Amino acid sequence: MSKDTLKLVHVYIIAIFSIMFWGMSYIWANQLLELGIPVEFFIPIRCLFAGLILLAVNLIMKIPIKIHREDGVMLFLLAMCEPFIYFFCETYGIKLTGSPTLSALIIASTPIVAALAGRIFFKEKMSLINIIGIFICVGGLTMVSGGKGDVGTYFIFGIVVLLIAVFAEVGHASCTKALSDRNYPPTVIVMYQFLIGTAYFVPLFLTRGVENFDASLYLSWDCFRPILFLSVLCSSLCFSLWVYAIKRLGVSGSSVFLAMIPVATAIWGIILGDEKLKLLQWLGLAVSIGGLLLAQKKNQPQ
């Protein structure tokens, strides 16, 4: 196995590791929603914890956290795209459509938009086989997700909100790529991303977030545990690893993995005994993986 192949395998492992925990994040977030914890409360807390954890890591490891003045605007755009716009639109899009199945399919279209963004803004090369692989991957996800679910009253508006989340994710990947090319350490980029993102959420937190605050519930271990997992694993760790994946695979190459998040969530559901896949869904899983391999064919670390 060549040195370049080993590097590529290393990046793939990092990307899959992140995707698996992000798949679990839907389950942890759902636990909070079932407790009645508002989105405007737990997302800002998650972002704040993640930012402070990475600040401590950078200080302990003596990693320089100074940012060049000319990169300040890019950092603010990064935090605006994600966590602020993406987290908000993704969560409310699912609520408005009333169909997690269709919502997951819309979010899974991210690689298609990302491929265009990577081509336009970063001159990333995509062969015909890569493009076909992307569509096969998304098609497999359609099979995994199964049939349509019930839709909500504000279905069309929910679709629009989810599409905004897709473009926000592509914007996040593009900003991350630009900053990583400036050789900032991943933990520094993500630290600022979440600390600035927390500031964006403050108005929502101080109004709707604590509107019905109940200390016995909001400060309980049942509430704190999933927030801690989301902050440490899904935000601090996985986002830092994802910066590395974007740097090596590019915007379009890394975003293909994001289409696998609904599959990762389904796998966790099976492991936890909350979900069982039908034959069609298992076939869809195989098709998705095949599409993923085609989408990455001949992609080399940059």
Between these two residues, 14 and 7, which has the higher pLDDT value?
Answer: 14
Between these two residues, 256 and 200, which has the higher pLDDT value?
Answer: 200
Mean pLDDT (the chain, rounded): 83
Range ranked top by mean pLDDT from 86-100, 223-237, 257-271: 223-237
> Above 90 in pLDDT, residue 201?
yes
**How confident is residue 301, by pLDDT bands cut at 50, 70 and 90?**
very low
Domain ranges of the chain: 3-295
Task: In whole angstroms, give the CA distance from residue 263 to residue 105.
Answer: 11
Closest CA to 76 of 199, 162, 243: 199
pLDDT at 5: 79
**How confident is residue 162, by pLDDT bands cut at 50, 70 and 90?**
confident
> Above 80 in pLDDT, residue 244?
yes
What's the pLDDT tens digit per position in 77-106?
Answer: 999 999 999 988 887 777 777 655 556 667
Q: Which whole number is the average pLDDT over 194-223?
A: 94
Helical spans, DSSP H, in 71-154: 72-79, 86-97, 100-107, 110-122, 128-145
pLDDT at 250: 83
pLDDT at 294: 75
Q: Which whole number is the average pLDDT over 52-76?
A: 94
Between these two residues, 41 and 287, which has the higher pLDDT value?
Answer: 41
Q: 169 is written with which tokens?
A: 């994710």
pLDDT at 296: 60
Q: Which whole number is the average pLDDT over 117-138?
A: 75
If you write DSSP's letter for every residue of 266-289 in order, what string do you get? HHHHHHTTS----HHHHHHHHHHH
Residue owning tokens 């990947």: 173
pLDDT at 148: 46
Closest CA to 255 of 108, 78, 136: 108
**How confident is residue 62, by pLDDT bands cut at 50, 70 and 90?**
very high
pLDDT at 75: 95
Buried b (16+ CB within 10 A) or exposed e, 103-134: bbbbbbbbbbbbbebbbeebebebeeebbebb
Q: Which whole number is the average pLDDT over 6-11?
A: 86
Closest CA to 171 of 97, 116, 125, 92: 116
**How confident is residue 52, by pLDDT bands cut at 50, 70 and 90?**
very high
pLDDT at 99: 58
pTM of the model: 0.78
pLDDT at 240: 92
pLDDT at 104: 64
Range ranked top by mean pLDDT from 20-34, 94-108, 176-190: 176-190
Percent of the chain with pLDDT over 70: 83
